Amino acid sequence: MIKALIFDFDGTIIDTETAWYITFRDAYKTHGVNLTLEQYSQCLGTSLHSFNPYTHLKTHHNLPIDLEEFKQLVQQQHTEMMIKERVRPGILQLLETAKSQGLKIGLASSSERTWIDKFVKLHGIEDYFECYCTADTVKNVKPDPELYLQALEKLGVEASEAIAIEDSPNGARAAVAAGIPTVVIKNDITNQLPFSEGHHTIESLTNYDLEKLAELVQQKVHSS
């Protein structure tokens, strides 16, 4: 029996990731550097430890750029792109259904809490989540399972009693490693990336209510 849903945030609830890649890609172009999706994907759904797009032009290409100015420019352009972005299809309906049926709802994100708060408040969905597990609350972010393990503990459920909703390879790996039945809804960016096994993939939540999701995760998982 499913007792809880645990959502990733960036790219899953709101597609912030496509805008980030486009913003960084265009910013790199102005400096004559091609930022490939394969390269950028190293920081998708995880920390900037493996690849830091803010500093890469200076540390790896030795370009004399002002890092703070570059960061502010990128963030300003991303903010402008995000003004038109909405909660992804089917998310609100699933949140409302889960809440009405008494399921516990958590959020597990590699982003910082201040970043998440800005968007959940903007879209009026902050009260759906009983716990916020973020980069501020753990030592290791995704693909490490710590965020999901922490969410399970805070919600008071077993891994088998929850469903994780993800969009990225790093996020899916983290949820699967925590033993949680995982459903991946790829966005425009993550749809182009290779995923490991162990999760279910669907095109959109619009065709899946809570009952169908529960039935889906009971099925055998094939290669994704």
Please identify every residue annotated as catalytic.
8, 10
Question: Are 27 and 128 contacting, i.e. CB atoms less than 8 angstroms apart?
Answer: no
Q: Which amino acid is at 34?
A: N
CA-to-CA dists, residue 120 to 9, 86, 117, 125, angstroms: 9, 11, 5, 5
Structure tokens belonging to residue 169: 């390879």
Query: Tokens standing for 199?
Result: 């999760």
Name the region of 62 (left: φ>0; alpha: ψ -120 to 50; beta: rest).
left
In the chain the first and final C-alpha atoms are separated, in Å, by: 25
For the chain, how many helices (H) and strands (E)? 9, 6
Order of strands across the sheet that contains 200-202: 131-133, 104-108, 4-7, 162-166, 182-185, 200-202
Q: Quick one: DSSP state of residue 41? A: G
